């Protein structure tokens, strides 16, 4: 037998009855280090799970915002065009109002008047199809979100702050203001 084998056998005899974890060189301090490492890893895992949850929530929020933006773009895409067409509608209404009653009855003018009225009805129909509605103004209290006061008119008949004259019709497109109604508002006389 060699000296090395004899030493190994001697060491084995001495270690008989000693706990296994001490034989492997694992004392209590090393055990604590392993438990601390495990706790640190568990903490890192919990943080990673939390970060994944936050990332998912943020992704959901971005997707919802994008869906809303797309829906708004579809709903309000015609806003600029609608504003431009409002002036055409206004001019058509002014043309109808400018025709005196006696000319409306004239056989030569009946076709023209009927054509202008039909065009006005068609514009109103198209406005309705695209969610464009006229803002009610006359007789209502001034609403700065929908009305633009152009003048104050002394009046005994109406309550101060009430719209008594509409100079230009206002319109909404769905739930957004397209153009405010330009109005005259009652004030106390004197």
Asked if 91 and 68 sit in the same domain, the reply is no
DSSP 18: S
Q: How far is CA 63 from CA 55, 72, 75, in A?
A: 12, 14, 18
Residue 32 has pLDDT above 80, yes or no: no
**Cβ atoms within 10 Å of 132's Cβ, excluding its own:** 23
Domain interval for residue 109:
78-130
DSSP 181: E
- Confidence (pLDDT) at 136: 92
- Confidence (pLDDT) at 77: 81
Taking residues 112-122, what's their average pLDDT? 92
Residue 78 banded pLDDT, cuts 50, 70, 90: confident
Average pLDDT, the chain: 86
Taking residues 144-172, what's their average pLDDT? 92
Name the percent of the chain lying above pLDDT 90.
57
CA 178/CA 61 separation, integer angstroms: 29
Asked if 140 and 119 sit in the same domain, the reply is no
User: To which residue do tokens 């929020």 refer?
Assistant: 61
> Is 14 or 120 the better-scoring residue by pLDDT?
120
Asked if 10 and 51 sit in the same domain, the reply is yes
Asked if 5 and 61 sit in the same domain, the reply is yes
Contact 173, 78 (CB under 8 A): yes
Asked if 69 and 90 sit in the same domain, the reply is no
Asked if 159 and 116 sit in the same domain, the reply is no
């Amino acid at each position: 037998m060699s000296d090395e084998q004899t030493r190994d056998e001697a060491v084995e005899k001495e270690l008989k009855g000693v706990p296994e974890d001490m034989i492997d060189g694992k004392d209590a301090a090393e055990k604590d280090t392993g438990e601390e490492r495990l706790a640190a890893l568990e903490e890192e895992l919990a943080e990673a799970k939390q970060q994944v949850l936050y990332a998912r929530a943020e992704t959901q929020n971005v997707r919802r915002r994008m869906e809303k933006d797309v829906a708004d773009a579809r709903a309000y895409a015609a806003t600029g065009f609608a504003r431009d067409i409002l002036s055409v509608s206004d001019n058509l209404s002014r043309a109808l109002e400018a025709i005196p009653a006696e000319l409306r009855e004239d056989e030569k003018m009946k076709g023209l008047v009927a054509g202008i009225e039909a065009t006005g009805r068609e514009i109103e129909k198209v406005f309705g199809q695209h969610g464009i509605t006229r803002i009610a103004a006359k007789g209502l209290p001034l609403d700065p979100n929908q009305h633009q006061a152009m003048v104050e008119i002394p009046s005994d008949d109406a309550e101060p702050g009430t719209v008594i004259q509409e100079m230009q019709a206002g319109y909404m497109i769905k739930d957004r203001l397209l153009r405010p109604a330009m109005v005259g508002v009652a004030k106390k006389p004197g």
